[in-house]
């Protein structure tokens, strides 16, 4: 095979054995690769009512066809399993599909070892880590690694193997303690954050997988592939988006959110924090804290950050990151403007191995619950957490990761905390138990519908509806023509920004954009190259020609797009099998009953009748 390695590796943690499975070309034609392979396994090898911590629950790592090649931004790896974090409003014991996507270089190295996918099942009787080097697989004791934070444990593995080129996917203390929003980390600070993949890894007593390989990724049409890859690299490299991101990282989206007035503030009660642009943004952050840029595999952008704090209370602190969502959820969401302290919080969650969004949500829920009188120090073991309190937040985050005291309760995720305490369910911004990111769902209705319809709970990266934001029309007009007729596209943008909070076009936009995003997950490339923030155009222009050149598979653009729909459908089927459907495709009452608290969109809220219409239209577009 070309592009693909044609094999997957199955690890049995109970027996400490492994099996190498050959995959036929027809399998790749159907599932395209990447996320599709994971979603197929997770659906077909789990069952209705299955406990996500059941040893039989498959934890899957997969890299797409373009991973390990010269294709730009091709370092992504998808991690999937039945999620311990997400749930249905019908009950927290109803679970469904979960996955996350991370950069770094673990995925390409997995392919060099000879595998498109690694599937982990079983549970070791003691902490274990795995070394994969081509066809040689070893299970080693993680006794000396258990309890270590991410960076230190990764370095120790590299030292033990005496190989700085080995690539390691690993969990921190939060994963070991099965914090429901624990993440998987690789390349020190590349995070697979959402839906609790690290918790399932911890449930298997698996600390890390280290990969190294010497197998080439062969290309079916090398000359055409190299020409297309160079052209796309150059297009991305010189795009306005990439130029901004080299300096600001994803913090350029933080600036955009500030300008529009949608960044979460005070537990997502409002999307506006007064005068925040005067305090910090992407340019200010880079000027003050950027030590150097980082890039994932084969990336011409290099939006990754490495932070160093030069002076003040936190002088000398350094860490990988942060990303925009981490800053927003550990900054404005908890009402803090201590930018240096926010950097420390972002570094702390990476070291502990926790999703920064759910971690910030846990802090901000507690702060609002105190403010409203829902809880007292009696509920938290004497801890009082108030808006903007960085130092207490650091203490609580450590308690969460180690499941100590009140942290043990927060480690279950906000919806379960509110359920157990019997208060505060009204202030948990979530869909399917997964807390919202930073965009206020009452304002940006493309994102709002995307949260609710996501196949992994509230999330923006399953439905990348950035097309509704300003600054996109000029560079993305040809994409919009695929969604609307020419008059519709013109009307859409002529009415901006009002269109952002008018729901008329959102069902069609969301249906298209979630498939568009899925294609990038299938081929194993970063969504930054496509969509409104990227410089490469849409999936037809960016990735599908290279996919055909790499693999030699004669799949048309329409067949690849149909493959994306097939993947979305099987992820949705996972939820439907457990009884979660239309009743979960919505938001909490707060966003229908309470208007935005402040800012340019003060008073705005969702309309129930419009929402019901949008749900129905969305289902129609999916057939």
- CATH number, domain of 69, equals 3.60.9.10
> 67 and 43 in one domain?
yes
Token pair of 454 as six digits: 């996501």
User: Residue 231 domain-assigned?
Assistant: no
Question: Can you give the pLDDT at residue 568?
Answer: 96
Summarised one tens digit per residue, pLDDT across range 310-360 is: 999 999 999 999 998 999 999 999 999 899 999 999 999 999 999 999 999
> 449 and 416 in one domain?
no
Give the Cβ contact number of residue 155 at 10 Å. 14
Average pLDDT estimate for 127-144: 98
Q: Say what percent of the chain tops pLDDT 90.
A: 74
Range of lowest pLDDT (60-74, 348-362, 420-434, 454-468): 454-468
CA distance 444 to 503: 9
> 144 and 175 in one domain?
yes
When mean pLDDT is compared over 488-492, 536-540, 612-616, 619-623, the highest value belongs to 612-616
**What does pTM read for this prediction?**
0.95
Q: Which of 374, 402, 435 is the last residue of a domain?
A: 435
Residue 586's domain spans which residues? 445-621
User: Residue 234 domain-assigned?
Assistant: no
Q: How many helices (H) and strands (E) does the chain have?
A: 27, 17
**Alpha-carbon torsion (255, 259, 261, 265), positive or negative:** positive
User: Residue 91 domain-assigned?
Assistant: yes
Summarised one tens digit per residue, pLDDT across range 230-268 is: 998 988 888 777 888 888 888 877 777 776 778 889 998
Which residues partner with 439 through β-bridges? 263
CA distance 543 to 479: 15
Q: Which of 401, 435, 469 is the last residue of a domain?
A: 435
Question: Can you give the pLDDT at residue 472?
Answer: 43
> 205 and 259 in one domain?
no
Instruction: Say if CB 457 and CB 432 are below 8 A apart.
Output: yes
Q: How are the residues of the chain apportioned to helix, strand and coil, as percentages rounded to the nearest 5?
A: 45, 15, 40
Residue 283 has pLDDT above 60, yes or no: yes
End-to-end CA distance of the chain: 34
Residue 49 has pLDDT above 50, yes or no: yes
Nearest to 441 by CA among 605, 239, 563: 605
> 325 and 257 in one domain?
yes
pLDDT band at 498 (very low <50, low <70, confident <90, very high): low
Average pLDDT estimate for 488-508: 67
The CATH code of the domain that includes 578 is 1.10.599.10
Q: Which of 212, 235, 263 is the last residue of a domain?
A: 212
> 121 and 200 in one domain?
yes
User: Residue 239 domain-assigned?
Assistant: no
Q: For residue 295, what are the contacts with CB-CB under 8 A and spacing of at least 6?
A: 301, 302, 303, 304
The CATH code of the domain that includes 429 is 1.10.569.10
Question: Can you give the pLDDT at residue 466?
Answer: 63
Question: Can you give the pLDDT at residue 243?
Answer: 83
Question: Can you give the pLDDT at residue 28?
Answer: 97
When mean pLDDT is compared over 261-275, 402-416, 489-503, the highest value belongs to 402-416
Average pLDDT estimate for 15-42: 97
Average pLDDT in the chain: 90
Calculate the CA 397 to chain-centre distance: 20
Token pair of 332 as six digits: 């404005």
Token pair of 8 as six digits: 């997957």
Main-chain phi, psi angles of 620, to 5 degrees: -65, -40
Question: Can you give the pLDDT at residue 468?
Answer: 62
Range of lowest pLDDT (172-181, 514-523, 609-618): 514-523
Summarised one tens digit per residue, pLDDT across range 554-577 is: 999 999 999 999 999 999 999 999
Question: Can you give the pLDDT at residue 458?
Answer: 92
How many domains are there within the chain?
3
Instruction: Say if CB 457 and CB 357 are below 8 A apart.
Output: no
User: Residue 221 domain-assigned?
Assistant: no
User: Residue 342 domain-assigned?
Assistant: yes
> 265 and 386 in one domain?
yes
Instruction: Say if CB 204 and CB 55 are below 8 A apart.
Output: yes
User: Residue 420 domain-assigned?
Assistant: yes
> 201 and 52 in one domain?
yes
> 187 and 64 in one domain?
yes
Range of lowest pLDDT (129-133, 298-302, 428-432, 546-550): 298-302
> 476 and 421 in one domain?
no
> 558 and 483 in one domain?
yes
Instruction: Say if CB 56 and CB 121 are below 8 A apart.
Output: yes
User: Residue 31 domain-assigned?
Assistant: yes
Summarised one tens digit per residue, pLDDT across range 427-457 is: 999 999 999 988 889 988 988 999 999 999 9
Question: Can you give the pLDDT at residue 469?
Answer: 57
> 455 and 600 in one domain?
yes
């Amino acid at each position: 095979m070309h592009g693909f390695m044609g094999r997957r590796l199955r690890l049995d943690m109970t027996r400490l054995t492994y099996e190498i499975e050959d995959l036929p070309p027809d399998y790749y034609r159907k599932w395209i690769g990447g996320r599709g392979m994971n979603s197929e396994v997770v659906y077909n090898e789990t069952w209705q009512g299955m406990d996500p911590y059941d040893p039989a629950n498959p934890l899957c790592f997969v890299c797409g066809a373009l991973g390990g090649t010269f294709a730009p931004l091709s370092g992504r790896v998808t991690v999937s399993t039945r999620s311990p974090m997400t749930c249905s409003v019908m009950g927290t014991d109803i679970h469904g599909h979960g996955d996350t996507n991370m950069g770094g270089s673990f995925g390409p190295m997995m392919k060099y070892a000879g595998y498109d996918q690694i599937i982990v099942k079983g549970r070791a009787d003691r902490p274990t880590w795995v070394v994969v080097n081509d066809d040689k697989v070893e299970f080693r004791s993680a006794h000396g690694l258990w309890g270590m934070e991410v960076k230190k444990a990764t370095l120790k593995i590299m030292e033990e193997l005496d190989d700085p080129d080995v690539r390691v996917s690993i969990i921190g203390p939060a994963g070991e303690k099965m914090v429901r929003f624990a993440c998987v980390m690789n390349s020190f600070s590349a995070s697979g954050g959402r839906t609790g993949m690290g918790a399932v890894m911890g449930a298997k007593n698996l600390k890390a997988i280290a990969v190294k390989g010497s197998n080439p990724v062969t290309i079916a049409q090398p000359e055409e592939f190299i020409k297309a890859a160079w052209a796309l690299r150059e297009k991305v490299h010189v795009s306005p988006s990439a130029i901004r991101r080299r300096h600001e990282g994803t913090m350029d989206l933080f600036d955009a959110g500030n300008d529009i007035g949608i960044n979460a503030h005070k537990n997502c009660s409002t999307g506006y924090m007064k005068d925040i642009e005067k305090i910090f943004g992407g340019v200010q952050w880079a000027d003050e804290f950027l030590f150097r840029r980082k890039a994932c595999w084969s990336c011409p952008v290099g939006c990754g950050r490495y932070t160093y704090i030069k002076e003040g209370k936190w002088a000398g602190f350094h860490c990988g990151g942060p990303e925009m969502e981490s800053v927003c959820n550990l900054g404005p969401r908890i009402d803090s403007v201590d930018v240096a302290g926010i950097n420390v919080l972002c570094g702390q969650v990476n070291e502990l191995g926790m999703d920064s969004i759910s971690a910030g949500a846990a802090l901000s829920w507690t702060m609002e619950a105190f403010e409203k009188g829902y809880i007292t120090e009696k509920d938290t073991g004497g801890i009082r957490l108030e808006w903007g309190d960085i130092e207490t937040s650091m203490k609580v985050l450590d308690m969460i990761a180690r499941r100590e005291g009140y942290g043990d309760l927060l480690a279950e995720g906000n919806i379960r905390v509110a359920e157990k305490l019997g208060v505060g369910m009204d202030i948990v911004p979530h869909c399917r138990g997964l807390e919202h990111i930073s965009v206020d769902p009452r304002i940006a209705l493309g994102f709002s519908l995307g949260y609710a319809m996501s196949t992994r709970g509230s999330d923006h990266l399953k439905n990348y509806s950035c097309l509704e934001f300003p600054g996109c029309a000029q560079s993305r007009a040809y994409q919009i023509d695929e969604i609307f007729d020419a008059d519709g596209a013109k009307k859409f943008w002529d009415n901006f920004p009002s269109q952002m909070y008018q729901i008329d076009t959102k069902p069609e936009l969301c249906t298209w954009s979630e498939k568009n995003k899925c294609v990038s997950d299938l081929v194993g490339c970063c969504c930054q190259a496509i969509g409104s923030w990227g410089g490469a155009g849409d999936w037809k222009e960016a990735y599908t020609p290279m996919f055909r050149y790499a693999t030699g598979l004669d799949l048309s653009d329409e067949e690849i797009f149909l493959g994306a729909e097939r993947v979305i459908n099987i992820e949705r089927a996972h939820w439907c099998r457990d009884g979660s459907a239309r009743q979960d495709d919505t938001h909490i009452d707060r966003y229908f009953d309470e208007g935005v608290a402040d800012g340019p969109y003060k008073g705005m809220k969702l309309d129930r009748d419009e929402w019901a219409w949008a749900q129905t239209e969305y289902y129609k577009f999916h057939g």
